[in-house]
């Protein structure tokens, strides 16, 4: 076997981490992380494509214009036509501001990667994607809730547009009513009728429920003629909009405001109706990350530029039904990844992996938003 010496040419190494056989020998390895981060984000963020989304450039906020209704009138022969005498249609605006930069990061020590028997970066990247998606959805769903409690921005006399809708799930003061399938079906039909009466387009109507509410409906599929499903088999088990009521496609999410928390709040504080066997027993070992309290202004003011409400204002909220015009989200920086390299990696013997985005969410058209509430007969107040 031949051995190399100082007079022999060096072997031409194949470096699979280089782009076009040039530059950083590890450059292409970062692409795995990018893909994993976006996969983690997209698989967990459902709200992003359910509302109005705009890209924000060269500014800190975006203006959305509202145009109210106008009237029709008969023409008088000989009179000039110079617009309606009442100055209709009235116009107003809503503005959504971009919050501060939202980040999720981790430092990966190179020796840990060498010793690890699994793909450390891939696993961390998924968790970063999950963290960004979770925050993204929570802010949008809180914006939809706010829309459901507001009046229309068009307030001109005789031209006032309809505002948001709030529908009680069940008839009593037991929050457990929110987990009864029949109550939810009734609420969905009421919501569909309300949006029809307010002139809201039927295109893009969706409902988002807590997982236990969603599965309560799924259990009734096939037995309750009021619920239809378009997909069967394995698709049904994925839980992504496989149930539809009154033309409203239903999603499940742990990120809607639910009894002042995200996810499921076990043993609701609002009472216990012994005639309804829907009390949810805490399964135990859920971890504090499963259902943390909603961040309020006092605990999460840094970086927030829009009004998203406080924890106590969602005490009776238990679901959302809306059309895409109900809320909007502006993105100054779409979800993306950054990774350190070069001298920084040498100094610290590792890389900082960063997922980031800059966005803001806000209520737009209240008529297109419906909030479901339970545990009280009094509608939650606006914020």
Instruction: Please report whether residue 17 resides in a domain.
Output: no
Q: Is residue 149 part of a domain?
A: yes
pLDDT above 60 (res 23): yes
Residue 69 lies in a domain: no
Position 357 in a domain = yes
Q: Which of 11-15, 306-310, 376-380 is least confident?
A: 11-15
Residue range 245-274: mean pLDDT, rounded: 77
Least Cα distance to 108 among 97, 100, 119 occurs for: 119
Average pLDDT over residues 247-268: 83
Residue 261 forms part of a structural domain:
yes
Burial (CB count within 10 angstroms: exposed 0-12, middle 13-18, buried 19+), residue 249: middle
The domain total for the chain is 1
67 — pLDDT class (breaks 50, 70, 90): confident
Question: Region 131-138: what's the mean pLDDT?
Answer: 90
> What mean pLDDT is predicted for residues 173-198?
93
- Predicted confidence at residue 36, as pLDDT, reads 65
CB contact at 8 A, 360 and 304: no
Give the pLDDT of residue 277: 46
Task: Report the alpha-carbon distance of residue 92 to residue 76 in Å, rounded.
Answer: 31
CATH code assigned at 327: 3.90.1690
Provide the pLDDT for residue 275. Answer: 46
Residue 183 is predicted with a pLDDT of: 92
Q: Report the predicted TM-score, pTM, of the whole model to 2 decimal places.
A: 0.82
Q: Looking at the domain assignment, is residue 20 inside a domain? A: no
The pLDDT-based confidence of 235 (bands split at 50, 70, 90) is very low
Q: Has residue 15 been placed in a domain?
A: no
Q: What is the mean pLDDT of residues 110-114?
A: 79
pLDDT 10s digits, 320-364? 999 999 999 999 998 888 888 888 788 888 888 899 999 999 999
Half-sphere CA count of 333, side-chain side, radius 13 A: 14
Domain that holds residue 310: 27-64+90-280+292-373
Read off the pLDDT of residues 82-100 as tens digits, 9 standing for 90 and up: 877 777 788 888 899 999 9
Q: Is residue 19 part of a domain?
A: no
């Amino acid at each position: 076997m031949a051995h190399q010496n100082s007079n022999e040419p060096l072997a031409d190494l194949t470096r699979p981490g280089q782009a076009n056989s040039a530059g950083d020998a590890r450059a292409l390895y970062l692409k795995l992380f990018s893909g994993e981060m976006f996969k983690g984000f997209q698989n967990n963020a459902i709200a992003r494509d359910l509302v109005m989304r705009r890209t924000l450039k060269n500014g800190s906020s975006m203006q959305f214009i509202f145009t109210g209704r106008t009237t029709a009138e008969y023409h008088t022969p000989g009179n000039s036509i110079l617009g309606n005498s009442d100055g209709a249609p009235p116009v107003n605006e809503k503005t959504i501001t971009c919050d501060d930069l939202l980040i999720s990061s981790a430092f990966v020590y190179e020796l840990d990667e060498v010793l690890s028997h699994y793909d450390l970066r891939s696993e961390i990247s998924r968790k970063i994607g999950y963290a960004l998606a979770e925050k993204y959805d929570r802010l949008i769903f809180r914006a939809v809730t706010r829309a459901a409690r507001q009046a229309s921005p068009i307030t001109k006399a005789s031209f006032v547009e309809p505002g948001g809708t709030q529908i009680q799930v069940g008839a009593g003061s037991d929050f457990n009513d929110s987990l009864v399938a029949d109550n939810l079906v009734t609420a969905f039909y009421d919501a569909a009728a309300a949006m029809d009466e307010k002139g809201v387009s039927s295109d893009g109507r969706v409902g988002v429920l807590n997982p236990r509410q969603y599965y309560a409906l799924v259990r009734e599929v096939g037995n309750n003629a009021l619920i239809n499903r378009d997909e069967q088999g394995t698709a049904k088990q994925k839980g992504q909009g496989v149930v539809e009521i009154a033309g409203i496609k239903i999603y499940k999410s742990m990120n809607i405001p639910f009894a002042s928390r995200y996810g499921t709040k076990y043993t609701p504080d609002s009472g216990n109706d012994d005639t309804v066997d829907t009390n949810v027993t805490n399964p135990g070992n859920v971890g504090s990350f499963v259902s943390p309290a909603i961040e309020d202004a006092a605990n999460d003011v840094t970086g927030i530029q829009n009004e998203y409400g406080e924890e106590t204002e969602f005490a009776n909220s238990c679901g959302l039904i809306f059309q895409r015009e109900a809320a909007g989200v502006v993105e100054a920086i779409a979800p993306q990844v950054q990774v350190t390299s070069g001298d920084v990696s040498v100094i610290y013997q590792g890389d900082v992996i960063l997922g980031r985005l800059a966005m803001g969410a806000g209520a737009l058209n209240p008529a297109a938003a419906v909030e479901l509430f339970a545990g009280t007969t009094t509608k939650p107040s606006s914020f």
